[in-house]
Amino acid sequence: MLSQRLANLEESATLALNAKVKALQASGQTVYNLTAGEPDCDTPAYIQKSVAKALDQNKYTPTAGLPALRYAIANSARGFYTAKWITEDNIVVTAGAKPALFAIFQVLLDPGDEVIIPSPSWVSYKRQVELAGGAVVEVPLRKNFDLDAKAIAKKISPRTKIVLINSPHNPTGLVFSAREIAKLARVVKDKPIFVLSDDIYARLVYGDDYSPITTQPFNKDRLVIINGFSKSQALTGWRIGYLIAPPAVATAVAQLLSHTFGNAPLPSQNAALSALAGGDQPPMLKDLTR
């Protein structure tokens, strides 16, 4: 009865375990939840109050997001990534970072295209690639969990369409070294390959060793960045993320979303606007470093 694409698709192990923990907690049991990547704190009060004042705003927004929010994200991203080329034309706001990833695979992959993913990796990458008709090529991280650009180079084939990196990395927590990121930039420099950087944890770094991917000479027309506010602002349940992509890719993503997820929830977009007005600095970072 179900489509072939769902034949081998199982529920996300992370979300299944998270649901089980919440059910056990609701029954009165004491359970420490180490499943989902969710800050153990509330959404900052100033964000909640700001959104509460704007609950009379309740209509659809443009699929790509509120123009003011796209502008604010671009402005923030230019500073964070040291990338003057980022404008609102590069930004698409999504209902969480996960739909942004799903949409990118849908618009970039044709059946049989390969996506290189460092392993171990977050559970949904592989399934999202497969749902788009692509094939995953796993490349183990180094023994110290750093990226292995040399090993990635050996796995590149004529079918390679995307190299995906995730730093700080889920599940190891390691920040990939600037050295290996620079090597990767050299590996893909003259190749028709997109580099997809999942930066959802990028603002939760406890030292000075984080080197944004944009500090390397990647071809900006082949670079896609996924980010959001779930982790940095404890907005997990609000479902608000975004992607930074070449304008043509961003337009294609918005077109796809117009037929699938639609726009991100308006209250969540207002929450993101409030966070950016506050500098998008994780309020719980000092507590997490203790």
| pLDDT tens-digit map of 140-154 | 999 999 999 999 999
Structure tokens that stand for 285 in this block: 């970072």
- 155 lies in the same domain as 34: no
In a domain, 118, yes or no: yes
- 31 lies in the same domain as 71: no
Mean pLDDT of 273-284: 87
- 32 lies in the same domain as 61: no
- 181 lies in the same domain as 162: yes
In a domain, 6, yes or no: no
CATH at residue 123: 3.40.640.10
pLDDT class of 283 with cuts at 50, 70, 90 = confident
Choose the weakest-confidence range: 37-51, 79-93, 158-172, 179-193: 37-51
8 pLDDT exceeds 90? Answer: no
Cα separation, 33 vs 114, whole angstroms: 35
Cα separation, 214 vs 9, whole angstroms: 34
Residue % of the chain over a pLDDT of 70 = 100
In a domain, 184, yes or no: yes
Backbone φ and ψ of 229, nearest 5°: -120, 0
Say if CB 202 and CB 210 are below 8 A apart: yes
In a domain, 86, yes or no: yes
For 77, the enclosing helix (H) or strand (E) is helix 67-80
Backbone φ and ψ of 34, nearest 5°: -115, 30
In a domain, 288, yes or no: no
- 99 lies in the same domain as 116: yes
236 pLDDT exceeds 80? Answer: yes
47 pLDDT exceeds 80? Answer: yes
In a domain, 4, yes or no: no
- 25 lies in the same domain as 98: no
Mean pLDDT of 36-54: 89
Structure tokens that stand for 221 in this block: 């027309």
In a domain, 287, yes or no: no
For 137, the enclosing helix (H) or strand (E) is strand 135-140
Say if CB 117 and CB 138 are below 8 A apart: yes
Mean pLDDT of 83-108: 97
pLDDT class of 218 with cuts at 50, 70, 90 = confident
19 pLDDT exceeds 80? Answer: yes
Residue 267's domain comprises 44-281
254 pLDDT exceeds 80? Answer: yes
Mean pLDDT of 7-36: 87
Residue 123 neighbours by CB distance under 10 Å: 16
208 pLDDT exceeds 80? Answer: no
**Per the structure, how many domains does the chain have?**
2
Mean pLDDT of 47-69: 96
